[in-house]
Amino acid sequence: MQPDRELALVTGASSGIGRQCALSLAERGFDLAITARRQDRLEELKGEIESRHGVGATVLVEDLSAAGGPERLAEAVGRIGRPLSVLVNNAGFGYYGAVTEANLAEIQATLQVNVNALTTLVRLLVPAMRERRHGYILNVSSFAALQPIPLYAVYSGAKAYVVAFSLALRHELRRSGVKVTVVCPGFTATEFHDVARHRKTGIMRRTTLSSESVARQALAGMFRGKAMVVPGAAYKLTGLALRFMPRTWASAMAAAVVKN
């Protein structure tokens, strides 16, 4: 790492959208701090970043679902000794199934990573950005925040929080030099549905976006200072239609899409 290069932190960087965000930021000339639970995946990504783009990468292994995980991560970022310019809160997951039958520990872990960890990292890392009057925050939500999905109720609710939190935070920081963007991807080619234990339906497979495309559109929107990014033309049009549709109808439609 070189002190004249800006530093970006990407959570959930071991796969999917997070991995592609890290690679795209490296392509733009940022040094990276990459974090997730799987050290082998992070080390592989570090090697790719450094060999392909000639920038530095620091591996920070942390479980954001564990007690004190976000705090430990913030401390580790501080030990790098470089000001943070970009925070990508990408880490997140959900489980498929009825809330009344779900494992309580899985519900709590979903909320911890998608809501508590994201909020804690903003609180701990963004004040320094505000003091420097420079920085970018990209919070990764989901199209499930805009169209609540039955059998993903906890995940949809958590991601709706991310949208509301991001837009409110954006207003709070509007004169600070720190830009806040929230991205709401639809179905994306990641490990999400494997973790969720959900076999994709036909329409889900046909409307799946690439993680590289989502990452590039999200970062482009972030650097342009957009409030919200919805990747993919079909999802943009659907999002527009949802504004004029009762949310109960939207949720029923989502149920039909995801139900096997």
Residues marked as catalytic? 155, 159
Amino acid at 99: V
- The vertex-76 CA angle with 70 and 77, nearest 5°, equals 90
Q: Which of 182, 170, 76, 95 is nearest to 130 (CA)?
A: 170
Q: Take residue 140 and report the two structure tokens written for it.
A: 């990764």
Please, how many CA atoms are within 13 Å of residue 60, restricted to the half-sphere of its CB?
25
Can you tell me whether residue 183 is helix, strand or coil?
strand
Question: What secondary structure does DSSP assign to 59-112, as a single string?
Answer: EEE--TTSTTHHHHHHHHHHHT-S-EEEEEE-------S-GGGS-HHHHHHHHI
Cβ-contact 46, 23 below 8 angstroms: no
